[in-house]
Amino acid sequence: MKIGDKVRFLSETGGGIIAGFKDKYTVLVEDEDGFQIPTPLNDIVIVETDDYNIAKVHTGAAPGTIAKQAKSDKLTNKEDDDSDYDPSDRPIAFKAQVNERKGGDKLSAYLAFVPVDIKEVSKTTFDAYFVNDSNYYMHYTYLSAEGSEWHLRNTGEVEPNTKMFIEEFGREALGDIERVAIQIVAYKKEKVFLLKPTVDVQFRIDSVKFYKLHTFQDNDFFETPALIYTIIENDKSVRPLVVDVEKLKHEMYRKKDLDDRLIPQPARRTDDKNSSVVIDLHSDELLETTAGMNSADILNFQLEKFRNTLETFKDKRGTKIVFIHGKGEGVLRHALIHELSYRYKQYSYQDASFQEYGYGATQVTIR
């Protein structure tokens, strides 16, 4: 189909001449009154006559032939000798109405992750969306970090108060989006507006959240639960992920103090240097719910907790950490022993006290 083709509607009476294309799925059909009607491409068919109710489907002429006819031909069904009139010369007059809402002149935008099948959260893929919740057009870039460099994953223009699909990905790609950046330029078209500063934010995507069903919450943007990251809200950007050396040092010391306070401590002071740190790796202690997770997902989460604990205490030589893994089938214990034998060879380990922990605990000593 090309500009100038005569077409009729399939779902209703009437038709007109193709005056242009709104996008690759929608054409603009100009009726006899000069109005241009946006119509789905699959809802029209090329015809040879202006009687759109009994029109014969066009089969003889080559598709895309431009009809040159005067407006009177629409009423008389006769060809006009005036060959100077070409519908393709008419400018496209249709413009979609911009949907503005009260209070929408403050920028709000979000990065959303939506499970394709929420009932199979342990197996499903995920759709990523850019959500523009404001009266401004937004041109965005979506990037992911590759070491010290960046990879452009998607870019585009999002109309006011709409959302745009970015990509679909599986869990195997979660490692590629651990650190992402969003850049936004906001503006309005064909009207004056308040100038907004450009948005440039970075944040980390917690891959563990994609294994938890309760991570995906009801929201205002999708009919199904989604994981929403705020880029900017009411003109306030999320804190950029920028390294400030002095601030980082302060936060490290603060985190160290916080970690010390989070370790279970006896009510009374003690000088016993042989006291141990106890970490319970049972899934019901680590996770609020295991709904949607299979055995492999739970095991990976337990191992991640194990590794993070060793990382926290790596500089505290002599510290004894008891990991309670239970007896069960021994899968978790074997996984821990494998980690200690290959990844953490510098640490010694043994079965923890039978009297205190039964047969389901391993003690690791930081060296």
pTM, full prediction: 0.45
Q: Tell me whether strands 137-146 and 179-187 are parallel, antiparallel or unpaired.
A: antiparallel
Is 100 part of any domain?
A: no
pLDDT band at 69 (very low <50, low <70, confident <90, very high): very low
> Is 96 among the domain residues?
no
Q: Are residues 204 and 298 in the same domain?
A: no
If asked whether residues 251 and 352 sit together in one domain, one would say yes
> Do 54 and 128 belong together in one domain?
no
Residue 288 in domain: yes
Same domain, 249 and 232: no
In a domain, 174, yes or no: yes
List alpha helices for 241-294, DSSP H: 245-262, 283-286
Q: Is residue 149 part of a domain?
A: yes
Residue where a domain terminates, one of 23, 54, 89 = 89
In a domain, 139, yes or no: yes
Residue that finishes a domain, picked among 190, 215, 237: 237
Same domain, 357 and 258: yes
Indicate if 12 and 114 belong to the same structural domain: no
| Mean pLDDT of all residues in 28-49 | 83
User: Is residue 265 a part of any domain in this protein?
Assistant: yes
Q: Comparing C-alpha atoms, which of 98, 132, 138 is closest to residue 112?
A: 132
Q: List, edge to edge, every strand of the sheet that includes 199-204.
A: 149-158, 137-146, 179-187, 199-204
Angle ∠(186,188,189) on CA atoms, nearest 5: 135
Where does the pLDDT of residue 192 fall: very low under 50, low under 70, confident under 90, or very high at 90 and above? very high
Assess whether 250 and 355 both reside in one domain.
yes
Task: Tell whether 222 and 259 lie within a shared domain.
Answer: no
Please check whether residues 78 and 123 belong to one and the same domain: no
Residues 250 and 223 in one domain: no
Dump pLDDT digits (tens) for 282-325: 888 888 777 778 888 888 889 999 999 999 999 988 899 999 88
Domain assignment present for residue 104? The answer is: no
Whether residues 352 and 269 fall in one domain:
yes
Specify the CATH number for the domain of residue 275.
Answer: 3.30.1370.110
CATH code where residue 191 lies: 2.60.40.1600
Domain end marker among 194, 213, 237: 237
What domain range includes position 37? 6-89
Same domain, 180 and 148: yes
Residue 75's Cβ-count burial label (10 Å; 0-12, 13-18, 19+) is exposed
CA–CA distance, 233 with 106 (Å, rounded to integer):
8
- pLDDT tens for 207-261 read 888 888 888 999 989 989 999 999 999 998 876 554 445 555 555 555 555 444 4
Q: How many domains does the chain have?
A: 3
Instruction: Match 């990844």 to its residue by tokens.
Output: 343
Measuring CA to CA, which residue among 108, 171, 175 is closest to residue 135?
A: 108
